[in-house]
Amino acid sequence: MLLSLPALHLQTSEHDPLFQLPHGRLGPWCSPTGSPAPLSCETGCGEGSWILVCRLLVPTQVSLLSMEEDIDTRKINNSFLRDHSYATEADIISTVEFNHTGELLATGDKGGRVVIFQREQESKNQVHRRGEYNVYSTFQSHEPEFDYLKSLEIEEKINKIRWLPQQNAAYFLLSTNDKTVKLWKVSERDKRPEGYNLKDEEGRLRDPATITTLRVPVLRPMDLMVEATPRRVFANAHTYHINSISVNSDYETYMSADDLRINLWNFEITNQSFNIVDIKPANMEELTEVITAAEFHPHHCNTFVYSSSKGTIRLCDMRASALCDRHTKFFEEPEDPSNRSFFSEIISSISDVKFSHSGRYIMTRDYLTVKVWDLNMENRPIETYQVHDYLRSKLCSLYENDCIFDKFECVWNGSDSVIMTGSYNNFFRMFDRNTKRDVTLEASRENSKPRAILKPRKVCVGGKRRKDEISVDSLDFSKKILHTAWHPSENIIAVAATNNLYIFQDKVN
């Protein structure tokens, strides 16, 4: 299988349909038959139940020679990928996202590249390798730009990736940097036309005088090639940096959110969007909060939520008015005066908001906690989980090294029973909502042997430290798990640590 560079041709026709949806649209939570997809995620965070499937590096240079190597040699430290010791700022993974079936996993990095991994097909002889992923396609999604009017450099870093449900043989995904959203089509080609009349086999034009017969071109088999083609470019609609994109459940529209505004787009229209939220004050000196994340409801195409730097969540209904300047519901937890400190405002800022697959709950992540909110109760969350409360005494030093402004993401498992989020020292946390158990695991190169079982880690705050514990003073704050993803129907997780992508699965799978 060969990898191809993205085609430079851009489809600009506003009336060119991307894909046809069948009657009775199915949400990502449904199987092709329309019935709920089978879920195998019951607990998923028992101690020692997670094993490493594979560790992959973000590709920076692809060697076609090494692509022909035996598949077993392209595993944990993929030989055709740049080694960790040569990692640059551009290699750092900035987003991770499974598609709706979990067969594909996309990552974006600070260099503007999108790398898609494909899950291996099940083999009778090697059933244990079913969860392993290999590089499927890699392409440059965004390039660095410069706004000459504002003397502002626009980074190529991929902020978010969102998949569209597959409706035909091709795959579609949205990727965005700070200013521009692009819709990409990823398709396979295993045949090529041969036998042209006006061109020879090498593609050069033939002398018309030498053409004496009429040939009918035929399709010949060729090595499989994966092509990524930009189909739509949605630009020039955001003054501030885009922090979120979310595909609507009608699969005809999506929204993009920046610090002060949220825009609604139609997939077929690139030259205009509707501004549905605008919190920019008339006088910017009166600005008190910014939008940090936004997401559509998984079932209701008229409903969405967005979070703010003040720790609040607003639920909006687009049926109420064209501009959703008035929210339908307002979720906020009153602050305990006894815990008030200089850092209270900073650590209460919400970095991520996610609807549950059922659509009943909202999960938010602030600096120290993960909270679960019921849509029917606005005054306080129904569940609060402490991610790394031992850092509360370290807030001053975390403020000085800017770590206090890190934006951690959070994800649900397929059945909404377990939630996962990241921490420092390459730790990530899992919380079982049913049993109330939690576990801390580590994604590290030292534990990157295939099929290695992850051992729970514990942090010692004070007093005598046990053998298997790590002191809070020994934590490495340069190693952080900001981006994670959970397979939509199985206990398979992807964890991004710097330029390494770790894929784990439950031992019972």
484, two tokens: 């994670």
Residues forming a β-bridge with 280: none
Extract the runs of DSSP E, i.e. beta strands, from 144-252.
Answer: 145-147, 152-154, 160-163, 171-176, 181-194, 218-234, 244-247
What's residue 209's pLDDT? Answer: 84
β-bridge mates for residue 162, sequence order? 174
| CA distance readout (Å), 438 to 46, 330, 419, 423 | 8, 29, 10, 14
The closest of 387, 393, 392 to 419, measured between CA atoms, is: 387
Specify the range with the lowest mean pLDDT, choosing from 329-333, 340-344, 399-403: 340-344
231 occurs within a structural domain? yes
What Cα–Cα distance (Å) separates residue 24 from each residue in 32, 124, 298, 330? Answer: 11, 36, 15, 32
Structure confidence at residue 94 (pLDDT): 96
Range from 85-89, 371-375, 499-503 carrying the lowest mean pLDDT: 85-89
Judging by DSSP bridges, how do beta strands 361-365 and 352-355 pair with one another?
antiparallel
Residue 70 lies in a domain: no
Is the pLDDT at 366 greater than 50, yes or no?
A: yes
Q: In terms of Cα–Cα distance, which of 471, 468, 476, 450 is closest to 460?
A: 471
Percent of the chain with pLDDT over 70: 82
How many structural domains is the chain composed of?
A: 1
Position 343 scores a pLDDT of 92
- 335 belongs to a structural domain: yes
Collapsing DSSP to helix, strand or coil, 27 comes out as: coil
Residue range of the domain that includes 415:
50-63+90-122+129-202+218-506
Q: How confident is the model at residue 247 (pLDDT cuts 50, 70, 90)?
A: very high
Model-level pTM?
0.81
Q: Which ranges constitute the DSSP H helices of 229-333?
A: none
**Would you say residue 34 lies in a domain?**
no
Over residues 325-345, the mean pLDDT reads 89
Average pLDDT, rounded, for the chain:
83
Nearest to 244 by CA among 279, 173, 313, 292: 292
Interacting residues of 392 by C-beta distance below 8 A, sequence separation 6+: 368
Measured distance CA(469)–CA(453) in Å, rounded: 17
For residue 30, pLDDT beyond 90: no
Task: Give me the pLDDT at residue 86, please.
Answer: 57
Distances (CA, A) of 399 to 392, 405, 460, 471: 11, 8, 22, 20
Mean pLDDT score, 94-103: 96
Both tokens assigned to 319: 């049926």
Cβ contact 466:457 at 8 Å? no
Residue 74 has pLDDT above 80, yes or no: no
Among the residue ranges 52-56, 215-219, 408-412, the one predicted with the least confidence is 52-56
Highest mean pLDDT among 178-187, 189-198, 454-463: 178-187
Residue 422 lies in a domain: yes
| Position 59 in a domain | yes
pLDDT number for residue 137: 94
Helix ranges (H only) for 8-138 are 64-67
Rounded CA gap, 123 and 299, in Å?
Answer: 36
- State the CB neighbour count (10 A cutoff) for residue 440: 19
Query: Over 50: is that where the pLDDT of 386 sits?
Result: yes
What percent of the chain lies above the pLDDT cut of 90?
A: 62
| Residue range 153-177: mean pLDDT, rounded | 95
Q: What is the pLDDT of residues 294-308, one digit of tens each?
A: 999 999 999 999 999
In a domain, 283, yes or no: yes
Q: What is the pLDDT of residues 271-321, one digit of tens each?
A: 999 999 999 999 999 999 999 999 999 999 999 999 999 999 999 999 999
Residue 80 pLDDT > 50: no
**Tens-place pLDDT, residues 432-444:** 999 999 999 999 8
Q: Considering the domain boundaries, does residue 393 fall inside one?
A: yes
Please, which residues bridge with residue 113 across strands?
140
CATH number for position 417: 2.130.10.10
